[in-house]
């Protein structure tokens, strides 16, 4: 038995609602996984230093990954 157009539309709406509900949860899980990887890679003391560097910047868009990219870039320029 095939579904009516109304049933198909309801199913589609349910799938869209579910995807919209799961999206923010998925992003939060990804953020937590990224934080754990950074902690495992750098350790607590280095992350504190990165956080202090971020606090001194005048750019609210800088998160840890961006800060690490910028710090590596600065370090590479100094080494030349």
Instruction: Count other C-beta atoms under 10 Å from residue 50's C-beta.
Output: 19
User: Could you report the per-residue pLDDT of 46-71, keeping only the tens digit for each?
Assistant: 999 999 999 999 998 899 889 999 99
Task: Give the DSSP per-residue string, 14-67.
Answer: HHHHHHHHHHHHHHHHHHHHHHHHHHHHH-HHHHHHHHHHHHHSS-TT--HHHH
Instruction: Name the average pLDDT for the chain.
Output: 87
Q: How far is CA 30 from CA 24, 25, 44, 64, in A?
A: 10, 9, 20, 14
User: pTM of the prediction?
Assistant: 0.57
C-beta contacts of 36-40 below 8 A and 24+ residues apart = 38/64, 38/65, 38/68
């Amino acid at each position: 038995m095939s579904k009516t157009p109304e049933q198909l539309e309801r199913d589609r709406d349910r799938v869209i609602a579910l995807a919209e509900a799961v999206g923010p949860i998925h992003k939060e899980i990804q953020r937590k996984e990224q934080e754990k990887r950074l902690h495992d890679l750098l350790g607590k003391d280095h992350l504190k230093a990165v956080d202090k560097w971020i606090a001194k910047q005048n750019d609210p868009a800088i998160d840890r990954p961006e800060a690490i990219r910028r710090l590596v870039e600065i370090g590479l320029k100094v080494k030349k």
